[in-house]
């Protein structure tokens, strides 16, 4: 029987728990979100994050910037946020306009306020097996889903499709830390189907609709779909859910799987950074 990994349900539980913890705080955690440009999808993501933070009782600081904002101006704002004692967490919504050097921006975020583990100091710690201030939101949310459904990772063959700095790479590292045997695939991988058929767990974070089809998946595998694709005005993942689901033991839906977990982990990370900065 296939079990649907209900990210929305788990995210709602986590949110309620965060709300309870926050209600007892005199000074509320504060999340600052920078959005440069007018990418419609980014605007929706940022609004959803801000709405969820306010529901929990966090304070938010939203800094929209025009698409022609200079890199200097953007960096200046990050330096100011780094210095503001009341700001505990900083998120720069990606992608940035093409004239801005993403890496300069990421490196400018103070590591102790880096809510999505972008900064190389935090990434380096993750890679070395020390704790970063907080782990990256999407990989953390995926691991939390596995833990919540008691899905064993140790000794499992795991295929991670995608090697981006924010999803694929850190997720591969975090799975290895749980003693899984990880294959990190990307657009130049030649024998993806063969690797997939040999995998106990497949996580697709490619942003490519219908990449994972039923003939890629062995009976009883676990499939996690990170992808967000717009197909004929509908939101689709990377996985052909209808045909893949019957073969799996566990599978995430899109929407309602990884997406809500990412936002819940962003909120959890905001509270954790607040606690670290306030020594409690
Ligand atoms: P990127 O575009 O940065 O990375 C995509 C990765 O997938 C790259 O490593 C690329 O390979 C690989 N890839 C692309 N096409 C294929 C293919 N046909 N076969 C194998 N590998 C392929 O994306 P992100 O990591 O930022 O995001 C991935 C997807 O996840 C997107 O749809 C995004 O919207 C979604 N997302 C969802 C989140 C959520 O909360 N649900 C959070 C973050 C992202 P190469 O390196 O060779 O180019």
Q: Summarize pLDDT for 38-74 with one digit per residue, the tens.
A: 999 999 999 999 999 999 999 999 999 999 999 999 9
Domains of the chain, by residue range, sit at: 26-110, 137-259
State how far the Cα of 51 lies from the Cα of 268, in Å rounded to an integer.
15
**By percentage, how much of the chain surpasses pLDDT 70?**
100
Give the residue among 241, 243, 250, 242 at the shortest CA–CA distance from 220.
250
Any ligand 1 atom below 6 A from CB of 185: yes
Topology agreement, domain 26-110 and domain 137-259: yes
Pocket flag, ligand 1, residue 137 (CB < 6 Å): no
Q: Tell me: pLDDT of 279 over 90.
A: no
Ligand 1 centroid–CA 236 distance in Å is 13
Give the active site residues. Answer: 49, 93, 116
Cα–Cα distances in angstroms (integers) from residue 132 to residues 114, 118, 119, 179, in the given order: 10, 10, 10, 19
* C-beta of 226 in contact with ligand 1 (< 6 A): yes
pTM of the model: 0.98
Cα 142 vs. chain centroid, distance in angstroms? Answer: 8
Q: Write out pLDDT tens, residues 158-211.
A: 999 999 999 999 999 999 999 999 999 999 999 999 999 999 999 999 999 999
In CATH, what class is 26-110? alpha beta
Q: Which atom of ligand 1 is nearest to the CA of 211?
A: 18
Is residue 255 within 8 Å of 101, Cβ to Cβ?
A: no
Residue 102 near ligand 1, beta carbon < 6 Å: no
> What does the mean pLDDT of the chain come to?
97
Domain 137-259: state its class: alpha beta
């Amino acid at each position: 029987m296939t079990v649907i990994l209900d990210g929305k349900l788990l995210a709602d539980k986590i949110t309620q728990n965060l709300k309870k913890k926050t209600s007892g705080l005199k000074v509320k955690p504060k999340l600052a979100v920078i959005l440069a440009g007018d990418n419609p999808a980014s605007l929706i993501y940022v609004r959803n994050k801000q709405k969820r933070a306010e529901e929990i009782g966090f304070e938010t600081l939203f800094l929209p910037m025009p698409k022609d904002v200079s890199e200097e101006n953007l960096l200046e704002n990050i330096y100011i946020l780094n210095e503001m004692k009341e700001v505990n967490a900083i998120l720069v919504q990606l992608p940035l306009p093409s004239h801005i050097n993403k890496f300069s921006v990421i490196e400018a975020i103070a590591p102790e306020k880096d809510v999505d583990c972008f900064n190389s100091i935090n990434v380096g710690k993750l890679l070395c097996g020390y704790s970063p201030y907080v782990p990256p939101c999407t990989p953390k949310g995926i691991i939390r889903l596995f833990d919540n459904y008691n899905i064993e990772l140790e000794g499992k063959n795991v295929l991670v499709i995608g090697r981006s700095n924010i999803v694929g790479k850190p997720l591969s590292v975090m799975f290895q830390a749980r003693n899984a045997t990880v294959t990190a695939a990307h657009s130049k991988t030649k024998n993806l189907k063969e690797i997939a058929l040999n995998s106990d767990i497949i996580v697709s974070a490619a942003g490519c609709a219908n990449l994972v089809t039923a003939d890629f998946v062995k009976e009883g595998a676990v499939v996690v779909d990170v992808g967000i694709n717009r197909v004929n005005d509908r939101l689709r993942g990377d996985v052909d859910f209808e045909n893949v689901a019957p073969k799996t033991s566990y599978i995430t839906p899109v929407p309602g799987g990884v997406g809500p977990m990412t936002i819940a982990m962003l909120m959890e990370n905001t509270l954790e950074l607040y606690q670290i900065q306030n020594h409690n």
